[in-house]
Amino acid sequence: MFNKAVTCGTIWDFAGSQAVAGEHKWVLSSIQNYGPELITMLWRILGNEQDVCDAYQDTFLQLAHYEGGEKPTNIKAYLFRTANNIAISMLRRKISEQNRITRSAVEREEELSPVKELDSKYLQESLRSCIAKLPEHLRSVLVLRDLAELSYTQIGSILNISSGTARVYRCKAIQLLAVWMSKEE
């Protein structure tokens, strides 16, 4: 565990030593002085090599960009507080993501639950029986409009009624169904 993190630190140390300008040599010496302790703390908080490397890198990047490149008064305190805050933010993001995934899985499970499926089947059967109880002229218009998806003009020509009458019949059918379905619940 620690060896992998030291490798992460060593890679960053090498890359940092190549890229650090003369006025930022104090950043490189901070990495060398406090890096191993920082890695140990991050391992204890995060427990994941990739997260430790990310937090380690972010910490020293924030140090290098501290108030326009100025050197903090207490570098060690700044480093450990910054690393701690970064690690906690990473943990919070992971927990938030896990909660979101869990919620979506539970919602998906509820959508597909047998109880809801049975409720849906019951509702369909209730609606079918209520449609069957409708008077013939109302049932015909409702079936042709909602199931066959025909226009009112087409329905009127099939049933030998006007399109306005077909609209009125469908409206009455829907109202009756609403009343009957609400009584069944």
Lowest mean pLDDT among 4-13, 72-81, 89-98: 4-13
Last residue of a domain, one of 110, 135, 151: 110
pLDDT more than 90, % of the chain = 21
Name the band, by pLDDT with cuts 50, 70 and 90, for residue 123: confident
Given a cut of 60, is residue 161 above it in pLDDT? yes
**Phi/psi class of residue 67: alpha, beta or left (left: φ > 0; alpha: ψ in -120 to 50)?**
left
Round to the nearest angstrom and report the end-to-end CA distance of the chain: 61
Shared domain check, 95 and 9: yes
Q: Are residues 21 and 98 in the same domain?
A: yes
In the chain, the number of structural domains is: 2
Q: Could you tell me the CATH number of the domain that includes residue 169? A: 1.10.10.10
Q: Does the pLDDT of residue 126 top 70, yes or no? A: yes
Reported as a single tens digit per residue, the pLDDT across 71-88 is 888 888 888 888 889 989
The predicted pLDDT at position 114 comes to: 62
- Pair 70, 88 in one domain: yes
Residue where one domain finishes, among candidates 110, 131, 152:
110
Residue 104 shares a structural domain with residue 153: no
Question: To the nearest whole number, what is the mean pLDDT of the chain?
Answer: 81
pLDDT for 100-120, tens place per residue?
888 877 776 666 566 666 677
Q: What is the pTM of this model?
A: 0.48
Looking at per-residue pLDDT, the higher value among 84 and 17 belongs to 84
Give the residue ranges of DSSP H helices in 20-162.
Answer: 25-46, 49-64, 75-111, 114-133, 136-142, 152-159
Check whether residue 101 and residue 77 sit in a common domain.
yes
Work out the pLDDT band at 167, boundaries 50, 70, 90: very high
**Are 100 and 140 within one domain?**
no
Neighbours of 74 (CB within 10 A): 9
Its domain, for residue 19, covers 2-110
Q: How far is 134 from 175, CA to CA, in rounded Å?
A: 11
pLDDT at 171: 92
pLDDT at 180: 86
Domain shared by 22 and 99, yes or no: yes
